[in-house]
């Protein structure tokens, strides 16, 4: 049962182990390069230092005889002195051979028999010493004389060239060449190499240990942040669930309020039925048919009775939640024509209608606003001007639909233009049209005409559904 978590833990530690392995490999390669370079530099420094120390001793011994060495051939007494010097440094410094050269490349003194007095080729190291610099190199063989084989000594040797100068004249008169056994220096160098590698190993181990601790701490920090992030995500999920639950409660409350509003509307409908509906019913009942003296009066009474019957029907339709004339369900042209025909029938007035061919169907709110504009405009034309020369026009101007209702006005039109005295129907109509992005205007036209004009942005009903 516990195997899967353990395997999951190992899988999680795999990237850390891989990263540590790569880092360790890089560190080991770097330390190896550094060790090799340090060892070579150390060897060069040790050999140079040992050679220069021996050269300093020999230089101090021979410089006292510098003037005597400024000749082509040494006298026997000076040769014996050179032999004594050679034996002294051979015992104390491990020198195995010594020569003294003059500036022309002639051997003035040689510890090896048969070389004294001979002229030999000048080597690059001898040229360096003749130029005034001490030359130190390490090798396994002497420079042979012409016609002789290389004489190998087996162990490594320091080959040292020391310039001998007359200090008062600062002139180099001879060069001392000698070979020193490098065994002592080699042992010291070997110990130094081991110490260097040991130090590098310790430093590498410390570096890898610190790197491992840092990576382990970083991995632990990342895991802790991962857990914290998981906890935060869980908290956010919980809050989201709580928010959705709260939103659901809000929606339920909104539905409850809608039900309350419907109940209030039903109560208002009942009040209207019990008030206006009853009054209209009484009026219709009291207007019983009776013989009349004249036909025009009878026509007027019959017209009023018909209007009251329509009003009663409209009240009943409103109380039932439906309109007697379902204008929103009709096409725009038919709905406008129906409103105009009802107005003609009720008022016995004429209305001129002009509608552009192929008008697109607007959105439902715009269609209702157009119908209310036509209805209110014709109602005001009949009420305030007796319905003289009534005209309704629907047309397009660019990407806007324009509706105008006009009539010939009477003498005073102040109430129409004064916002404070404007009828409530027009104020409500302006608000309805402007809330749909349209414009509403009341304009004075020539020949005592007044025009109610509205325009709407043309957004087709099918575009809205799409």
For residue 94, pLDDT over 80 is answered with: no
| Token pair recorded at residue 72 | 């082509």
Contact assessment for residue 366 and residue 436, using Cβ atoms and an 8 Å cutoff? yes
What are the angstrom distances between the C-alpha of 339 and each of 249, 401, 407, 451, 461?
45, 19, 17, 18, 21
Looking at residue 284, its pLDDT comes to 60
Q: What is the pLDDT of residue 373?
A: 92
Q: Is residue 125 over pLDDT 50?
A: yes
Average pLDDT over residues 277-303: 58
pLDDT tops 50 at residue 415:
no
pLDDT tens digits for 129-147?
888 888 887 776 555 555 4
- Which residues share a beta bridge with 441? 453
- Banded pLDDT at 353 (limits 50, 70, 90): very high
Q: What pLDDT is attached to residue 201?
A: 85
* Phi, psi angle pair for 118, to nearest 5°: -90, 150
Mean pLDDT calculated for residue range 389-408:
93
pLDDT for the residue 74: 82
Which residue, 406, 348, 339, is CA-closest to 370?
339
Q: What's the chain's average pLDDT?
A: 77
> Does the pLDDT value for residue 354 go beyond 60?
yes
User: Which residue carries 């552009």 as its tokens?
Assistant: 356
User: Residues 39, 196: contact at Cβ < 8 Å?
Assistant: yes
CB neighbours of 103 closer than 8 A, spacing ≥ 6? 130, 172, 173, 174
Confidence of residue 1 (pLDDT cuts 50, 70, 90): very low
User: What is the rounded CA–CA span in Å between residue 306 and residue 359?
Assistant: 34
35 vs 318, more confident:
35
Contact call for residues 82 and 177 (beta carbons, < 8 A): no
Q: What six digits make up the tokens of 274?
A: 């019990």
Query: What is the CA 420 to chain-centroid distance, rounded?
Result: 59
- Could you give the CA distance from residue 123 to residue 143 in angstroms, rounded to a whole number? 9
**In which order are the strands placed within the sheet that holds 152-166?**
107-110, 95-102, 171-181, 152-166, 135-141
pLDDT of residue 291: 53
Residue 321 has pLDDT above 60, yes or no: no
pLDDT above 90 covers a percentage of the chain that reads: 13
pLDDT tens digits, 416-459: 555 555 566 788 888 889 888 899 999 988 878 899 999 999 87
Between 184 and 430, name the one with better pLDDT: 430
Asked if 128 and 110 touch (Cβ cutoff 8 Å), the reply is no
| pLDDT score, position 51 | 64
Instruction: Please indicate, yes or no, whether the overall pTM of this predicted structure exceeds 0.95.
Output: no
pLDDT per residue as tens digits for the range 143-165: 555 544 444 445 677 888 888 88
Q: If pLDDT is split at 50, 70 and 90, which confidence band does 300 have?
A: low
What pLDDT is stored for residue 451 in this prediction?
92
How far is it, in rounded angstroms, from Cα 400 to Cα 456? 5
* pLDDT > 50? residue 77: yes
Q: What is the pLDDT of residues 28-48, one digit of tens each?
A: 888 888 878 877 777 777 766
Say if residue 404's pLDDT is above 90: yes
350 pLDDT above the threshold of 80:
yes
Which domains are present in the chain? Answer: 17-144+151-194 (3.30.450.20), 327-465 (3.30.565.10)
Band of pLDDT at residue 233, cut at 50, 70 and 90:
very high
Statement: residue 282 has pLDDT above 80:
no
Candidate from 28-37, 177-186, 218-227, 315-324 with smallest mean pLDDT: 315-324
Q: Residue 405 forms beta bridges with which residues?
A: 392, 452
3-state secondary structure the chain: CCHHHHHHHHHHHHHHHHHHHHHHHHHHHHHHHHHHHHHHHHHHHHHHHHHHHHHHHHHHHHHHHCCCCCCCCCCHHHHHHHHHHHHHHHHHHCEEEEEEEECCCEEEEECCCCCCCCECCCCHHHHHHHCCCCEEEEEEECCCCCCCCCCEEEEEEEEEEEEEEECCCCEEEEEEEEEEECHHHHHHHHHHHHHHHHHHHHHHHHHHHHHHHHHHHHHHHHHHHHHHHHHHHHHHHHHHHHHHHHHHHHHHHHHHHHHHHHHHHHHHHHHHHHHHHHHHHHHHHHCCCCCCCCHHHHHHHHHHHHHHHHHHHHHHHHHCCCCCCCHHHCCHHHHHHHHHHHHHHHHCCCEEEEECCCCCCECHHHHHHHHHHHHHHHHHHHHHHCCCCEEEEEEEECCEEEEEEEEECCCCCHHHHCCCCCCHHHHHHHHHHHHCCCEEEEEEECCCEEEEEEEEECCEHHHHHC
Identify the pLDDT of residue 22: 78
Of 63-77, 102-116, 283-297, 386-400, which range is least confident?
283-297
């Amino acid at each position: 049962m516990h195997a899967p978590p353990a395997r999951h833990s190992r899988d999680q530690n795999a990237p850390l182990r891989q990263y540590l392995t790569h880092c360790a490999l890089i560190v080991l390669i770097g330390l190896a390069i550094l060790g090799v370079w340090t060892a070579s530099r150390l060897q060069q420094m040790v050999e140079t230092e040992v050679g220069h120390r021996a050269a300093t001793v020999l230089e101090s011994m021979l410089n006292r005889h510098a003037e005597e060495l400024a000749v082509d051939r040494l006298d026997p007494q000076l040769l014996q002195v050179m032999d004594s010097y050679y034996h002294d440094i051979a015992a104390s410094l491990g020198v195995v051979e010594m020569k003294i050269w003059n500036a022309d490349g002639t051997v003035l003194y040689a510890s090896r028999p048969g070389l004294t007095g001979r002229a030999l080729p000048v080597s690059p190291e001898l040229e360096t010493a003749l130029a005034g610099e001490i030359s130190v190199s390490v090798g396994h063989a002497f420079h042979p004389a012409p016609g002789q084989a290389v004489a190998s000594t087996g162990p490594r040797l320091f080959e040292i060239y020391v310039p001998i100068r007359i200090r008062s004249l600062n002139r180099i008169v001879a060069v001392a060449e000698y070979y020193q056994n490098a065994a002592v220096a080699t042992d010291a160098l070997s110990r130094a190499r081991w110490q260097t590698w040991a130090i590098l190993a310790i430093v590498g181990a410390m570096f890898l240990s610190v790197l491992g601790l840092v990576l382990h701490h970083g991995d632990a920090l990342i895991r802790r942040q991962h857990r914290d992030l998981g906890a935060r995500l869980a908290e956010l999920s919980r809050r989201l669930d709580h928010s959705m639950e709260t939103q659901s409660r809000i929606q339920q409350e909104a539905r409850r309020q809608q039900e309350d509003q419907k109940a209030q509307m039903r109560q208002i409908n009942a009040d209207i039925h019990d008030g206006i509906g009853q009054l209209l019913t009484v009026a219709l009942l009291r207007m019983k048919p009776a013989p009349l003296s004249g036909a025009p009066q009878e026509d007027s009474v019959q017209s009023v009775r018909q209007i009251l019957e329509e009003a009663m029907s409209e009240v009943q339709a409103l109380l039932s939640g439906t309109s007697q004339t379902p204008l929103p369900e009709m096409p725009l042209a038919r709905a406008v024509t129906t409103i105009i025909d009802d107005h003609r029938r009720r008022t016995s007035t004429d209305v001129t209608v002009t509608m552009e061919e192929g008008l697109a169907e607007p959105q439902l709110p715009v269609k209702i606003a157009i119908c209310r504009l036509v209805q209110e405009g014709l109602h005001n034309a009949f009420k305030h001007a007796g319905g003289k020369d009534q005209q309704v026009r629907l047309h397009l101007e660019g990407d806007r639909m324009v509706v105008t209702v006009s009539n010939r006005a009477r003498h005073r039109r102040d109430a129409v233009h004064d916002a404070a005295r404007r009828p409530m129907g027009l104020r409500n109509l302006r608000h309805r049209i402007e809330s749909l992005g349209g414009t509403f205007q009341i304009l004075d036209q020539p020949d005592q005409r007044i025009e109610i004009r509205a325009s709407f942005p043309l957004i087709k009903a099918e575009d809205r559904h799409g």
